[in-house]
Structure 1
């Protein structure tokens, strides 16, 4: 299968491209710079150069690539995010999830690509439910103001993917090389500096996804005709009050301190507080069944241990 990967040099794309090549697929990676393209070519992928936000350029790039499938992994998330300025920090990613998706699905339709796979989020469900959210649970109805543009962009991405008959893979909090949870990542630096407290009782529930598990799910999805959306997350959603102390212990730093919600709101804003106290985990049952996929790291515990206790482990 000829697979066009937009976002081929990102944290998931950098794991996906070699995996696709090793399983016999032909890969065409989208690159904006010559340097990024050279890296893909060394792996054995073909490269096309275009700006994903340029409609005409994307139509030309995909036409030249003539793919059977298009995979949309494009984001522009900063290495460090200010929760009080979330809408600012996600502005370019929101454009890639809206106009970028329009350009990609239009180009895919023009060239007759039979498969469209996009990357969504499993961290957007209506909070405070009793169980991890299945894909049928609605998105957050009244999120903090800073999160509204991000959520609107994800809704549009999903609607555009559905119109194209494609599949959205809703990933959890990504960890592994190149992410904020990598040993040199911004979040770990904050934990090591003791700048990440447990807010209130630490009741925000996270579902994690290792980048290798996300890449493996994409490869599995290419072999199916599944549409709609699937949660690609590990088997163990966990509250901040549970996983953050484990992370601190792996980094050999003291346990995080607890601070009241009001104090956190003045320091981190309403989104920062919601992020740490209200997020809802996700259920991966459907992804396992539909994709015949299971995570390499069933729990973030195993994944964090592999990445942080033994640096450089795959």
Structure 2
């Protein structure tokens, strides 16, 4: 099958392109700047530089590739996330999720594509709901700084579903190229003792290793029909007060301090405080059922240890 991957050099792209290549798919990899760092070197993918916000350029690239399936992973998330600057630093990503999605899907429809998989988000649920969230509607009244991002995500989902595609809502991504990688910004902050537990540390994170995200994408493409929205997360939702000290321990870093939520608000704003205190985890039951998918890293504990030590578990 000819598969076009848009956003092919990001955290997810660099995991899914080699996997698609390994299972015998013919891959065209789109990226705004091509592949200057060589993260796709060694794969059989044809790399094409294209600006997704340029409708004409996107149309030409898609029609030339003539794909049978499209995987939409386009973002421009900065290497270091600064919550106080979220509106500015996520502006391009928001446009990619709205305008870029429309450009890609319009071109895909013209090319006769019938299979579409897009990257969504599994931590935008109502934090006051009971237990880990299923594939329910997004948070109705999030903090103001997060609203543009949520609106863009909703547009991405609506357009993908209208095209008959599937949105895979991934959790907090970790793996090579992510903020949780050994050279990532979050790991650097933990090593330097600059990432505290805020308040009670009650924000619940559902993590997703990039390799598990990639395997879910391939599983979705293998299904003739899949549900419109699926959570792709591990089996072990955990509050910040649990996973952050464990990450520090693995790194040999200082035990994270605890700071009051009011103090954190001054430093990171309302969204930064919410991110560290109120997020809700997600449930992967439907993905297990409909995709026959299982995360290789059932718990972030195993995944974090593998990333820090470099030791990977054997295949099941």
TM-score over 0.5 (shorter chain):
yes
For 1:101, the equivalent position in structure 2 comes to 101
Inter-partner Cα distance in structure 2 for 1:67 and 1:195: 45
Task: Return closer, same or farther for 1:55/1:305 CA change in 2, 3 Å cut-off.
Answer: same
Inter-partner Cα distance in structure 1 for 2:27 and 2:280: 35
Moved over 6 A (4+): none
Secondary structure at the residue paired with 1:8?
coil
Contact 1:162–1:227 (CA<8 Å) still a contact in 2? no
For 2:268, the equivalent position in structure 1 comes to 268
Secondary structure at the residue paired with 1:43?
coil
For 1:169, the equivalent position in structure 2 comes to 168
Task: Return closer, same or farther for 1:27/1:229 CA change in 2, 3 Å cut-off.
Answer: same
Q: Which runs of 5+ in 2 are unaligned?
A: none
Output aligned runs, 1:1-314, within 5 Å: 1-33=1-33, 35-36=35-36, 40=40, 42-136=42-136, 138-224=137-223, 225-308=225-308, 310-311=309-310, 313=312
Inter-partner Cα distance in structure 2 for 1:113 and 1:304: 37
Inter-partner Cα distance in structure 1 for 2:8 and 2:310: 24
Secondary structure at the residue paired with 1:304?
helix
Inter-partner Cα distance in structure 1 for 2:47 and 2:264: 46
Inter-partner Cα distance in structure 2 for 1:43 and 1:275: 36
Task: Return closer, same or farther for 1:101/1:262 CA change in 2, 3 Å cut-off.
Answer: same
Q: Which runs of 5+ in 1 are unaligned?
A: none
Deviations 1:174-209 (A, max 9, x none): 011110000110001111111111111100000000
Contact 1:31–1:37 (CA<8 Å) still a contact in 2? no
Inter-partner Cα distance in structure 2 for 1:273 and 1:41: 39
Q: CA deviation at 1:45?
A: 1.3
Secondary structure at the residue paired with 2:123?
coil
